[in-house]
Structure 1
Amino acid sequence: MAETLLQVNNLSFGWPGQPTLFQRLDLQLQRGEVVAVLGPNGRGKSTLMQLLLGTLPLQQGSVSRHCGLGFVPQYFTPPFAYKVLDIVLMGRARHVQLFRSPSAQDHQLAKQALHALDMLAFADREFGSLSGGQRQLVLIARALAMACEVLILDEPTSALDLHHQDKVLTMIDQLARERHMAVIFSTHQPNHAHAVADRALLLGAEGRHQLGHCQQVLTAENLSPLFHLPIERISVPFADGHLETLVPIFHSLRERDRE
């Protein structure tokens, strides 16, 4: 039986004067598992991440953390002009003794994390001089340097081009399969969830949610009303076979097709 690293029981939350974001949510995140959290803006994806981390007080329910957690926020602005390598070394803070400087091993692990994301060449660059996508990759490298067992990512591909989206998704898959980490990430892209997640959590209106294996949850019947536009599962030829993916059918595309 797989080891549970993060457990959520009967979790409910709502901001004052606003509709409840989720009600009676139960979730077990197991070693080697990837869970994707999907939903429109304002449905509680980032709030859920804060509750899992413990940076936001619980209103109802419980969150049990059985190991160290790493977090990659959607946005991050450091208070000083840190170099990229310094930002990644911050991930080693809990491994460095009080009043001690990072060791040679800490530096090596930080550089390995940057190398894994093709960012080692930027190690001496000022973090603030990078593009939004490059900053996101550095923050992911910082989380990797922590050597945590659970990785929580808030929309990790939102500022990335297609190549680096693929690199981050591949990295998520490798962390789960090869390092046996548990990963939970939020996204607006159902095809990203389909590509790497084992299970998907859909956050709907009025506190409703749906959790299950991707093949059962990521369907046109569930996703289309969630995002208020048609989303279809299609099969495309690739190499010597076929691959399935999920495609949104935008209104502009439908209008253009009628012309």
Structure 2
Amino acid sequence: MLELVDLGHRYPETGWVFRHVSLEVPAGSVTVVLGPNGRGKTTLVRCAAGLLTPEEGSVRHDGHIGFVPQARGGAFAYRALDMVVMGRVRQVSLFGTPSRDDRVAALDAMDRIGVADLADRQFPTLSGGEQQLVLIARAIASESPSLVLDEPTAGLDLHNQAQIMSLLRKLVADGMGVLLTTHHPDHALFLADSVVLMGGLDDVRSGPAAELLTDAELSRLYDIDVQTIAYDQNGVTRRTIITGYGNELD
């Protein structure tokens, strides 16, 4: 269980980004954070992952949290396997080096994610989708019960986006709790059990995806006409969005 309790954060130069945000991410569930640029999505998940200390409220969890940033290459030519082994830092003593067990755990994580064949490749030479999968494997190798991802499909083509979405569903089916940000409401419609809509400092709402991912709520959030349509996928009814480009709301 990952829980944010009355969370708030501010920056000295810009003031409060959000306040009074509370949500729960139980094991085996997905919470998706949506909102326009600059409304605090990344700040929220960085607080949730322990990378930022919130000014207000608290973050509670059952253990270490795996964090997956946006893939942006790398300045150092580490092998993909070495990148994943870095996820084992909690299991390595202060002045120790990764053990054989750590490397086995890293390879197992890469195999689970489907990137074991990339183990000896230099991380900066990988495609954006491959890099993102390696970063997810790194978080999996940490043996964390909760996973926090910041825009895991940013800059990826449709094939790689679908691959990441399918992978996250499998991780959740295995009992992992997932919190992620995205600029794609379609991804929330596909994945989310609950959502957080960040419209501004005084406009942050959280609740069940079925209640908040409506045409009216999405149109209001993005200030553009958004409509959803239903479709059948292998006997399961799902929804996707149609965005009214050139039809911004007044």
| Paired amino acid for 2:214 | T
**Partner amino acid for 1:148?**
S
Partner of 1:255: none
Q: Is 1:196 paired with 2:211? A: no
Inter-partner Cα distance in structure 1 for 2:12 and 2:99: 46
Contact 1:22–1:206 (CA<8 Å) still a contact in 2? yes
Letter in 1 for 2:216: E
Identity within the alignment, %: 38
Contact 2:197 2:206 in 1 (8 A): yes
1:96 paired to 2:110: no
Equivalences for residues 45-124 of structure 1 within 5 A: 45-76=41-72, 78-124=74-120
2:242 is aligned, of 234, 240, 247, to 247
Alpha-carbon spacing, 1:32–1:240, altered in 2? closer, same or farther (3 Å): closer
Question: Which residue matches 2:24?
Answer: 28
Q: 1:162 aligns with which of 153, 158, 163?
A: 158
Equivalent-residue separation in structure 2 for 1:13 and 1:45 (angstroms): 11
Structure with bigger strand share is: 2
Distance 1:241 1:83, change over 3 A: closer
| 1:107-256 aligned within 5 A | 107-178=103-174, 180-238=175-233, 242-251=237-246
Q: TM-score, normalised by structure 2?
A: 0.89
Contact map agreement 2:72 2:128 (CA 8 A) in 1: no
Residues 136 and 159 in structure 1, CA contact (< 8 A), matched pair in contact too = no
Shift of 1:110: 1.6
Return the offset for 1:15: 2.7
- 5+ residue gaps, structure 1: 253-259
The number of aligned residues is: 247
Scaled by the length of structure 1, the TM-score of the pair is 0.87
User: Could you tell me whether the CA contact under 8 Å between 2:71 and 2:135 is conserved in 1?
Assistant: no
Give structure 2 stretches of 5+ with no counterpart.
Answer: none
Distance 1:247 1:117, change over 3 A: farther
Counterpart Cα distance in 1 of 2:199 and 2:14: 14
Q: Any idea what the Cα deviations from partners look like across 1:47-86, whole Å, max 9, x if unmatched?
A: 0112112322322222223311000011455453211110
